[in-house]
Homo-oligomer: A and B are copies of this chain.
Amino acid sequence: MENPSNPDLIMFTRGNPDTDALPLDDIITCATDIFRREGRVLFQYGHYSGYGPLRQWLADYLKADYEQVLIGNSSMEFLTFIGSALLAPGDTVWLENPSYDRAITAMRRLGARIVGLPLEADGIDLDAMQAAVRKQVPKLFYLVPEFQNPSGVTTSLAKREAIAQLAREHGFYIIEDAPYRPLRYRGMDIPTFRELAPEQTLHVCSFSKLLSPGMRVGFLIGPEALMPRLHKWSEDTYIHPTLVSEGIAYEYCRRGLLMPNITKLRALYKPRMEAMQDALKRHLPQASWAETDGGFFLGLTLPDNVDGNAVRENDTAFGIKLADGRGFFCDDSGTNFVRLPFCGMTAEESEEGVKRLAKLVSHYTL
């Protein structure tokens, strides 16, 4: 992805989908059609849980009951909804360490006690989890089980089962953030937490990575028992979410366009993922990263003899822009962590970007 103010700078900062991959013609056709057909509904006040036909479509698609589906203005806002509705002051929230930076911020903002569980190449360290639960049972455990943002890690089935088991035993809730799940470029799907522990799981997902981020249409599938509280939180926050983009998303799904678009995105992004992994192997073999099978990100850990602060502070001098790796960690670590988004980059940009990164890293290697 290029930076308009400096077209030569390669931006490793944000995980945007490729703008060229937005199916704008189809979106416009769907919008015009549903606005004509359903405009009197979509532009009037509506239901606090979202546009009914899209809720029904999602319920069918995700094998859930209608009442289990809540649509909102992004999946991210659900973190605030869930935390506000379920957390009491001083409650503990677990996250993977590293984790999605915005999730850490959301949970901090809610006043939760944050505990980061060390993330390994196949999910969190289970011994650390057992030690943590002996200290304090959490109220919530937020994780991104597939192609994690920022590390690219996918939690193995064995670890999912252990986590699901612990959640059932201690009655805490798992927030399963799954925006990348359909974007698997190789290997086989692993059962979701919603399948393994349906009564303990709040499964959140969105159309941002599968169709369009600017629409801000996220959805949540939760246990029946929790839903009234979440539906009410939605109503009391904004009366109802934005129906206009929900209508477009519905029409897009109803016409059977979503799965072909996901297939198209997989075909576009798979070689980009491979190109970046190849470039890393060639230019930065001294760094370590988890091989990923999908999603948007690779998470690089630079060797200990690299001055990660200097790398970050001097990125633009080397023609790249990096996110601050420390933002993804619940503690003070992350200085030598680099998140590399690959979906918005051609193979050539990836190659060039990683080459520049390697030069920058070698410059600050002691």
Residues of A within 8 A of B (CB): 14, 16-17, 19, 22, 24, 27-28, 31-32, 35-36, 39-46, 73-74, 76-77, 80, 84, 102, 105-106, 109, 208, 212-216, 236-245, 248
Known: A43-B214, A45-B213, A46-B214. A242 touches B242 (CB 8 A): yes
A299 CB to closest chain B CB (Å) equals: 20
Q: A16 to chain B: which residues have CB within 8 Å?
A: 44-45
The answer, among B17, B35, B76, B238, for a CB contact under 8 Å with A239, is B76
- Max chain B CB contacts within 10 Å: which of A14, A36, A46, A73? A73
**Top 5 nearest A-B pairs by Cβ distance?**
A43-B212, A214-B243, A74-B238, A43-B214, A77-B238
Q: In the bound complex, how far is the Cα of B46 from the Cα of A124, in angstroms?
A: 32
Distance, CA A44 to CA B35, complexed state (A): 21
Name A43's contact: one of B42, B74, B213, B242 (CB within 8 Å).
B213
Question: What are the residues of chain B within 8 A of A109 when measuring CB–CB?
Answer: 84, 236
CA A46 to CA B17, docked complex, whole Å: 12
Of the listed residues A16, A44, A76, the one surrounded by the most CB atoms of chain B closer than 10 A to its CB is: A44
Q: Complex Cα distance A32/B32, Å?
A: 7
Q: A215-B242, A243-B214 are in contact. Are A24 and B43 (CB under 8 A)?
A: yes
| Dominant SS among interface residues on chain A | helix
Chain B residues with Cβ below 8 Å from A214 are 41-46, 242-244
Nearest residue in B to A40 (C-beta to C-beta)? B19
User: In the complex, what's the smallest C-beta–C-beta distance from A129 to chain B, in angstroms?
Assistant: 27
From known contacts A28-B32, A236-B102, A236-B109, infer whether A241 and B73 are also in contact, taking CB-CB under 8 Å.
yes
List 27 interface pairs A-B (beta carbons < 8 Å), by A numbering: A14-B45, A17-B44, A19-B40, A24-B43, A27-B43, A28-B35, A31-B31, A32-B32, A43-B212, A44-B212, A73-B73, A73-B242, A74-B238, A76-B237, A80-B237, A84-B109, A106-B236, A106-B237, A214-B243, A215-B243, A216-B239, A216-B241, A242-B245, A244-B244, A244-B245, A244-B248, A245-B245
Separation of A239 and B208 alpha carbons in the complex (Å):
12
Query: What is the distance, in angstroms, from A362's C-beta to the closest C-beta of chain B?
Result: 32
- Complexed CA–CA distance, A73 and B106 (Å): 18
Q: What are the residues of chain B within 8 A of A84 when measuring CB–CB?
A: 109
List B contacts of A242 (CB < 8 A): 73, 214-216, 242, 244-245
Which residue in chain B gives the minimum CB-CB distance to A14? Answer: B45
- Closest chain-B Cβ to A197's Cβ sits at a distance in Å of 27
B residues near A80, Cβ cutoff 8 Å: 237
How many Å lie between the Cα of A245 and that of B248 in the bound state?
11
Given contacts A105-B236, A214-B244, A236-B109, contact A39 B27 (CB under 8 A): yes
CB distance from A52 to the nearest CB of B (A): 13
- CB-CB < 8 A to A73: which residues of B? 73, 216, 238, 241-242
| A45: chain B residues within 8 A (beta carbon) | 14, 16, 208, 213-214
How many Å lie between the Cα of A73 and that of B72 in the bound state? 10
Q: Are B28 and A39 in contact (CB under 8 A)?
A: yes
Q: CA–CA, A212 to B80, complex, Å?
A: 27
- Which B residues are CB-close (under 8 A) to A40? 19, 22, 24
Assembled-state Cα–Cα distance A40/B31 (Å): 15
